[in-house]
Chains A and B, each alone.
Chain A
């Protein structure tokens, strides 16, 4: 079970990125536009845009390894979730609405620091959802910048 502190974090975080690796151990990065924790507090649904799909399903179906870093900007509070691929499906209307909420959180957080960046550029950064991947979270790591980064967060058995 994912600890309550991390459950709350996932509800206010505003940006994320995912990683897979292929059969030759070559790592691949994937933009992420949304995430939501399932009621079992163990399955994380990660929503990705169309441009993030190169090597994604091919790698997940080869070896199942999936890593997702989620961050709350501008505080840089960051956690990495590691786990195993469960399934995937095309994004649906509920994903579109979820991503819209994350996009608005991101814009509100970044706009005061964005300088010359137009709101439209920030809005486009969190892209439209195309695919949703379910992962079983097995490990969580603290990744907020600093010497404590890398510490494992306890994930209790149900």
Chain B
């Protein structure tokens, strides 16, 4: 049975707070990285940006599993997503929408011409879980 993203996660994906991604190479070395955008594709898929041919991109092409954490600071919670890489898209509505956001982020951070979307990597959602922070004094 497909795992479906709850509606409550959509504003969290759009909140602009960087997300954290963990992948693992075929020879078993984990890799952690900060990602700027987790794009909602449909209720069973998300897209992540492929900007540079880095370790994360190499890893998911060797071993498709990925773990992503998105933070909902105002909601005092975080969401963890277990994902599986499905395919890449270099044209189409998902690519165009992500490209626009990447360009806006690049422009606002002085990184125009450095951040460039090469592909929208589409992942199937295998699990989704919400965890609440324990409030600190």
Contacts and interface: CB of A to CB of B under 8 A. Distances in A.
Nearest to A145: B111
Nearest to A17: B20
Interface stretch (B1-9, B64-72, B91-99): B64-72
Interface string B13-53: 00000001111101011111110100000000000000010
Contacts of A127: 133-134, 136
Contacts of A145: 34, 36, 111, 115
A20 to B, nearest CB: 6
A49 to B, nearest CB: 8
B32 to A, nearest CB: 4
Interface in B99-137: 111, 114-115, 131, 133-136
**A-side interface mostly:** mixed
B30 A65 contact: yes
B97 to A, nearest CB: 21
Interface residues of B, number: 38
Given A19-B31, A122-B73, A127-B133, A26 B68 contact: no
B65 A25 contact: yes
A19 B74 contact: no
A109 B117 CA distance: 29
A66 B30 contact: yes
Contacts of B29: 21, 65, 67, 82
Nearest to B16: A115
B34 A143 contact: yes
A27 B67 contact: yes
A134 interface: no
Considering the complex of A and B, which 9 residue pairs feature the smallest CB-CB distances, nearest first?
A19-B22, A19-B32, A19-B30, A21-B24, A27-B22, A69-B32, A17-B20, A124-B133, A27-B24
16 contacts: A17-B34, A20-B30, A25-B63, A26-B82, A27-B23, A27-B65, A29-B20, A31-B78, A49-B134, A67-B30, A67-B32, A68-B32, A121-B76, A143-B34, A145-B36, A147-B52
Given A17-B34, A25-B26, A121-B74, 17 more contacts: A19-B67, A21-B29, A26-B67, A27-B31, A29-B32, A29-B67, A50-B134, A51-B131, A66-B30, A67-B29, A71-B34, A82-B29, A118-B74, A127-B134, A145-B115, A149-B52, A150-B55
Interface of A: 17-21, 25-29, 31, 49-51, 63, 65-69, 71, 76, 78, 80, 82, 103, 116-118, 120-128, 141, 143, 145-147, 149-150
